[in-house]
Amino acid sequence: MACQGLQKGETLASLKKESESLKKKLEEERGKLNDEHGVTLPCTWVMACAYAPSGCAVACGGLDNKCSVVPLSLDRNENLAAKKKPVAMHTNYVSGCSFTNSDMQLLTSSGDGTCALWDVESGQLLQSFHGHTADVLSLDLAPSETGNTFVSGGCDMKANVWDMRSGQNIQSFESHESDINCVNCVFYPDPFVGSPQCRFYDLRADREVAVYQKDSIIFGASSVDFSLSGRLLFAGYNDYTINVWDVLKGNRVSILFGHENRISRVRVSPDGTALCSASWDNSLRIWA
């Protein structure tokens, strides 16, 4: 016989029963560990997502021309998709979204060439921002101490700074050779970066103050983010690498290899200890 002898009191049937109940328990316990929530959008590409400042909701949007807000819940059995509420309505894809300083207002950028500020509760359009002459690809809010402004970058090779309350375009930068894929605002005095060559503009001086480029870099950068102090700039490129630049000295500090396809987004964690990169190779990597 290939198996060990049964111990006293056990039968084949009781062992089988025990194994079934243990398997069930294992699945249950494993299920508790899975804290991912998937919410499906009725469109092929989700291009933008953002956490609400309280961490209680998430906004997402893309080719469905809308940006919807989903309240988060720790209850695994809750159907999150059912609670999804469309807030922003554009006439073309939504490329970027960000909550303002509260959970109540959402800022969106769209392929229809405009940015818009929405009231989350009512879905009402509070302010629209016209001025770009082509798709707007990215937006970023200024840190709250510097007032109510945000910057947007678009296919018209312009990066515009807007006053959120009046809808007025305050500043505009146009020294790009191609589309601006990502804009990022880090701090007072508010420099921000546009790509593919990464350019650094100081908003108070109203001009470009640095360019981060190397002859060996021939592919465009799709996404940038600053480290906590603003000293390091992480840029994800279409050649599957992430270059780390010293913002003040202008030289490249490091290259991060690992992805097997182009980088779509990079983001530094809120506590500044790690960098996350997303790629067309279907993976998210954390660098720490």
State the minimum distance, in angstroms, from the CB of residue 167 to another protein. 12
Radius of gyration, CA atoms only, the chain: 24
The piece of 20-28, 55-63, 164-172, 175-183 that touches another protein (CB under 8 A) is 164-172
Q: How far is the CB of 196 from another protein (least distance, A)?
A: 23
Q: Which of positions 101-130 make contact with another protein (CB under 8 A)?
A: none
- What span, in angstroms and rounded, lies between the C-alpha atoms of 49 and 62? 9
Number of residues that bind another protein (CB under 8 A): 32
What x/- string results for residues 177 through 206 when contact with another protein is judged by CB under 8 A?
Answer: ----------xxx-x----------x-xxx
Torsion angle, alpha carbons of 253, 194, 280, 31, to 10 = 90
Residue 53 or residue 230: which is nearer to another protein going by CB?
230
Q: CB-wise, 227 or 238, nearer to another protein?
A: 227
Q: Which window, 31-39, 114-122, 149-157, 266-274, contacts another protein (CB under 8 A)? A: 266-274
What is the secondary structure of 156-214 as a DSSP string?
Answer: TS-EEEEETTT--EEEEE---SS-----EE-STT-EEEETTTEEEEETTTTEEEEEE--
Residue 110, amino acid = S
Q: Which of helix, strand or coil describes residue 25?
A: helix
Nearest to 202 by CA among 185, 186, 190: 190
- CB-nearer residue toward another protein: 92 or 169: 169
Comparison of 71 and 167: residue with beta carbon closer to another protein = 167
Q: Can you tell me which of 247, 256, 263, 278 binds another protein, judged by CB under 8 A? A: 247
Smallest gap, in angstroms, from Cβ of residue 142 to another protein? 14
Asked if residue 248 binds another protein (CB under 8 A), the reply is: yes
For position 231 contacting another protein by CB under 8 A, the verdict is yes
Query: In 3D, which of 177, 178, 56, 182 has the Cα closest to residue 120?
Result: 56
Q: Which of residues 37-96 bind another protein (CB under 8 A)?
A: none
121: Cα separation from own chain's centroid: 22
Of the candidates 203, 161, 204, the one whose C-alpha atom is nearest the C-alpha of residue 180 is 161
Q: Look at the chain and count its residues.
A: 288
Contacts to another protein by CB under 8 A: 131, 168-172, 187-189, 191, 202, 204-207, 209, 227-232, 247-248, 268, 271-275, 286, 288
